[in-house]
Amino acid sequence: MKKLLSLVITLFLALKVYAGEIIVYAAADLTYAMEEILKVYKQKYPQDNIKVIYGSSGKGYNQIVNGAPYDILFSADLGFVEKLKQQGLTASDIRPYAVGRIVLWTRKDSGIDVSKGINVVLDPKVNKIAIANWEHAPYGRASKECLEYYKLFDKVKDKLVLGENISQTAQFIQTGAAEVGFIALSLAKSEKLQKEGVYYLLPANCHKEIVQGSAILKHATTDKERFETAKRFFDFVQSPEARKIFVKYGFVLPGEE
């Protein structure tokens, strides 16, 4: 009986240790950076189970408002996190974690010279231009602002192919559905896309600053262990280890040049 009781207690404690499980919604521009951050995090906290869903920030916001069981939001637009706080759906302070940049990207075999800058969208060889849907994707909005800044939007609007998020936008160019497109620098700097293509970094002054923000969400408070796990990961993303990874993928850290 004592052995059985001891086994039950051991199993219970093991479950307590490994029970930490959270669902994170992250903006699609974080696909590669977040996966690398997770690898480092798991080395330090192997007991925690972090599931990440990627998509456009606007869609993530809408899903959270409609009850999606996400525990942390990493948005590409600080504004969506602020809206959630106003609606009482956050359970922590709001933290800016990165400032994004956009690039014009093309495949190496496209025959398009993006080093010429944004005016390359007028090249006769460019039939389709991929851009994230600016209605709910912050990078799409910034890309549209750049086209408007250079008075090019009306000239190329009929060539635009809209991606649901910045990852799908990149896929359009990768698969040849578009010759060029606007994507996040963080995707362009990934090992995969560096092998496949080349990019031109657009000037930061052609669009509003892409300040990205995060918060622990109210859903995380429904369970003590869930909240503790969420807080651990939330804090880790602000750590020096995570910040180095953000810089590696071309993000500007808040408060730094």
Q: Give the CA distances from residue 60 to residues 34, 227, 249, in Å, rounded to whole numbers and listed in that order.
A: 16, 20, 22
Res 4: pLDDT: 40
Question: Smallest Cα–Cα separation from 130: which of 102, 96, 150, 149?
Answer: 102
- For residue 187, the tally of other CB atoms under 10 A from its CB is 25
Six token digits for residue 87: 């609606």
Place of tokens 């999606």: 68
CATH 3.40.190.10 residue ranges in the chain? 2-99+210-248, 102-201
Six token digits for residue 64: 């959270």
Res 38: pLDDT: 98
Res 31: pLDDT: 96
Question: Smallest Cα–Cα separation from 59: which of 136, 151, 170, 145?
Answer: 136
Q: What is the residue-level pLDDT of the chain in tens, covering all 257 positions?
A: 444 444 333 433 443 434 568 999 999 999 999 999 999 999 999 999 999 999 999 999 999 999 999 999 999 999 999 999 999 999 999 999 999 999 999 999 999 999 999 999 999 999 999 999 999 999 999 999 999 999 999 999 999 999 999 999 999 999 999 999 999 999 999 999 999 999 999 999 999 999 999 999 999 999 999 999 999 999 999 999 999 999 999 999 987 65
Overall CATH class of domain 102-201: alpha beta
Overall CATH class of domain 2-99+210-248: alpha beta
- The sheet with strand 102-107 has its strands ordered as 160-163, 129-132, 180-184, 102-107, 197-201
Rounded Cα gap, residues 99 and 88, in angstroms: 25
Q: Are 200 and 117 in contact (CB under 8 A)?
A: yes
Rounded Cα gap, residues 12 and 6, in angstroms: 10
Res 19: pLDDT: 52
